[in-house]
Amino acid sequence: MSSLQFSIIQTSLFWENKSANLDMLAQKIRSIEVPTEIIVLPEMFTTGFSMQPEKFAETMDGPTIDWMRRLSIEKRAIITGSIIIEENGNYYNRLIWMLPNGQMGHYDKRHLFAFAGEDQHYTSGNKRLIASVKGWKINLQICYDLRFPIWARQQSFVNVKMGDENEYAEYDVLLYVANWPEKRSHTWKTLLTARAIENQCFTIGVNRVGLDGNNIAHSGNSMVVGPLGEVLYHHADEENIFHIRLQKEEVKNTRDHFPFWKDADDFSIL
């Protein structure tokens, strides 16, 4: 069974200031001295949670994508986080999954936060992205997606029922990048734990800290939760860079010893 090392960057962000954020994050990424495989940044890491995509959007060949590619190659690690992207006249809150070979994947946020008007400025995505790394599968999601369990729900437990004993589930890790407000931090922590338990997987939530341009406070509370709901890492209020190595055998043992997936309902997302 393989292991996978994550480096989680919980940081404050400069409001709608791309160059300041990229300079700051480059310093933090370059400060990582331990060998790592995946470096995780918060949601909208170049701007904060901005509702001005027409001013700050980039294309998929823009400077931030180039920045991610160069740093990923330099650190020999995957770098992921979301930025504002314009494509075909639409704006997306898009998570970029940048590989150290220069290739990338992306996920567009499915659930737009209407409470803050995100749905008025951005276009919703309609496809999940489950990435593969060293035999691990990682389901990549963004912030408000956390409130919607069906979008995260494992859909392939049925494969084992059909006789494929090597395929327990769609994924082993559920990863959220976020700008989640401090006033709803209890919800954030509770739902991260719930998603881990119900999907029998590791769940990682990476959130920002500090005040944004709308004077909304963020307390971080970045977490790593094990497949039985045990909290492996939690940090609040302060900037922090945390490294954790996850063991795939822990996921397998959980599903072997507690085969609750056998009783799951089959369903399809239309």
Catalytic residue IDs: 43, 109, 143
Structure tokens at 99: 């590989």
| Nearby residues of 208 by Cβ (< 8 Å), 6 or more positions away | 10, 11, 12, 13, 42, 43, 48, 178, 179, 218, 220
Contact assessment for residue 144 and residue 116, using Cβ atoms and an 8 Å cutoff: no
Residue type, 152: A
Residue 231: how many CB atoms within 10 A of its CB?
A: 13
Contact assessment for residue 60 and residue 85, using Cβ atoms and an 8 Å cutoff: yes
Gyration radius from the chain CA atoms: 18
The vertex-115 CA angle with 107 and 59, nearest 5°, equals: 35
Pairing of strands 231-236, 217-225: antiparallel
Residue 135: how many CB atoms within 10 A of its CB?
A: 10
* 194-212 b/e (C-beta count within 10 Å ≥ 16 → b): bbbbbbbbbbbbbbbbbeb
Rounded CA-CA distance 38/240 in Å is 16
Residue 137: how many CB atoms within 10 A of its CB?
A: 15
